[in-house]
C-alpha cells in the first residue's frame, strides 16, 4: 500500500486513466465492428452510415489524445477501402 501522498495520488490518477482508456478502447472496437458487420452483410447504406460515424469518432479520439493522428488515419483508410469495395462491387453488379 502506498504511504506517500504522491504515491496515493498516482494510484488515483492511474485508476482514472485506466477507466477512461478502457471506455475509449471499447468504443473504438465497437465502432469499427459496426462498419465491418455492415460490409459483411452487404448493406451499402448501413456501411456508409457506420463509416461516417467511425471517421468522425476516430478523429475525435485523436483530439482527446487517445489515438495518434496516423493511427486514426490508418484505421479510417482501411475501413474506407472495405466500404469502397462493397459499393463498387454492388455498382458493377
**5-92 architecture in CATH?**
Up-down Bundle (1.20)
Has residue 1 got a pLDDT over 80?
no
- CA distances (Å), origin 35, targets 5, 14, 49, 64, 92: 46, 32, 8, 22, 21
| Average pLDDT estimate for 48-56 | 97
Half-sphere CA count of 7, side-chain side, radius 13 A: 4
For the chain, the structural domain boundaries read 5-92
Compute the average pLDDT of residues 73-86.
96
- Span 4-13, average pLDDT: 94
pLDDT band at 48 (very low <50, low <70, confident <90, very high): very high
Q: What local confidence, expressed as pLDDT, does residue 28 receive?
A: 96
Examine the pLDDT at 93 and tell me if it is beyond 90.
no
Amino acid at each position: 500500500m502506498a504511504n506517500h501522498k504522491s504515491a496515493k495520488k498516482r494510484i488515483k490518477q492511474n485508476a482514472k486513466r485506466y477507466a477512461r482508456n478502457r471506455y475509449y478502447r471499447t468504443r473504438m472496437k465497437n465502432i469499427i465492428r459496426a462498419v465491418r458487420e455492415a460490409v459483411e452483410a452487404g448493406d451499402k447504406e448501413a456501411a456508409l452510415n457506420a463509416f461516417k460515424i467511425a471517421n468522425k469518432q476516430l478523429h475525435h479520439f485523436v483530439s482527446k489524445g487517445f489515438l495518434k493522428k496516423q493511427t486514426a488515419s490508418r484505421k479510417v483508410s482501411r475501413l474506407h477501402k472495405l466500404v469502397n469495395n462493397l459499393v463498387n462491387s454492388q455498382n458493377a453488379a
